[in-house]
Amino acid sequence: MRRIYMDNAATSFPKPPCVHEAMLHYATRLGASAGRGAYVEAQDTGRIIQQCRERLCRLINAPNPDHLIMTFNCSDGLNLAIYGLLDEGDHAIATEMDHNSVLRPLNELRKRIGLEVDFVRCDAAGLVDPDEVRQAIKPNTKLLTVLHGSNVTGSVQPIRDLARVAHDHGTLILIDAAQTVGHWPIDVQSDRIDLLAAAGHKGPLGPLGTGFLYIRDGIEQHLRTLKQGGTGTRSEQATQPDDLPDKYEVGSHNAIGIAGLNAAAGWILDRTVVSLRQHDRQLCERFAQGLDSIDGLHWYGPRDLEKRIGVFSVRLDGYGPDELSSALEAQFGILTRSGLHCAPWAHKTIGTLEFGGTTRLSFGPFLTLQDIDHALDALSTLARRKNPHRELAAEKP
């Protein structure tokens, strides 16, 4: 049975072939740590890392590659931003759709330093109203965090409008772009984004163990370091360098992972984010239309496809989330993820917390419309098998 991967919101698969080729080249021909030697292999590794920064900047229209900090995943970047900015006496705002990678650091700081935190509610589709954020802002609000694309409902927040609200009140905005970079157009300059964290292994199509944090010029003056150590530069100093990116990048890089991410970013730039977004929208349109025809199936998130990405949470009458995922794999070769997806409040918002969450199908650039039709046929078949009267009704002329 052919296996169809529909868990791209967890990590993208398959990767473009050039990703594996770049990683193999590094592993077999270079193998060096950037900045730790003057020999050719170390210099070539440094050039790969720098090229990766430049390509990622092009993906989000960031002006300065030195302000693109390499991290080990999106959570790593979010923790750097949250712990590095917030102090005792500050107030932070997040939304009910946020991932545990934001919820947990904020709640930890609430315990440690008494940080004030408010979580702005979202509507049933998972969208936040900028006016709700405006009403939540206080004189001591330092940071607004926003999950750009939901890993539960696929809802895409109006980050430009939210950034305007934040800046009107002197508040910084941090964007969790784990689900959008690489297949949704982002312009950190036009959108006036202060900080943006992303995973390299999801939309950017790189390997696990990669990610980045973009820091707007000037923010580094207020963003503390969380780690200190070797950088390969300014070794005579006993303190961490202030230069970017060295201020926030400690120890040897995940060079083999960054080599793969660099190749992936080049692949995306060649095809363009706009074309990848168009492909994702086509998949969403076919899937949404088909879901509406399945009796007993419930799906969540915006019906307006201009406000969503290819992440669909579904619930089928008669099946628990785990049971549905297991049936899709065992009987149809479709790989999905079930449960709460590290976002319990998002499931509370859409009313699925009491069911143990949902079954999630999430799309990637290598899926086809035929794959979407196969998933729809599978869900329809399972719906009829669980409810024999539907099977009989379907067979009547």
- Grouping H, G, I as helix, E, B as strand and the rest as coil, residue 147 is strand
Distance (Å, whole) CA 162 – CA 146: 8
Tell me the domain boundaries of the chain: 4-12+273-395, 17-271
Architecture of domain 17-271: 3-Layer(aba) Sandwich (3.40)
What does pLDDT average to over the chain? 95
Determine whether domain 4-12+273-395 maps to CATH 3.90.1150.10.
Answer: yes
* 282, 283, 284, 286 alpha-carbon torsion, rounded to 10°: 90
Distance (Å, whole) CA 177 – CA 209: 16
Q: Is the per-residue pLDDT at 391 higher than 60? A: no
- For 311-366, what is each residue's pLDDT tens digit? 999 999 999 999 999 999 999 999 999 999 999 999 999 999 999 999 999 999 99
Mean pLDDT over residues 57-80, rounded?
98
Q: What is the pLDDT of residue 150?
A: 98
Q: Is the per-residue pLDDT at 394 higher than 50? A: no
- For 70-106, what is each residue's pLDDT tens digit? 999 999 999 999 999 999 999 999 999 999 999 999 9
User: How many CB atoms within 10 Å of residue 161?
Assistant: 15
Q: What is the pLDDT of residue 388?
A: 53
Distance (Å, whole) CA 54 – CA 65: 5
- For 265-279, what is each residue's pLDDT tens digit? 999 999 999 999 999
Q: What is the pLDDT of residue 236?
A: 73
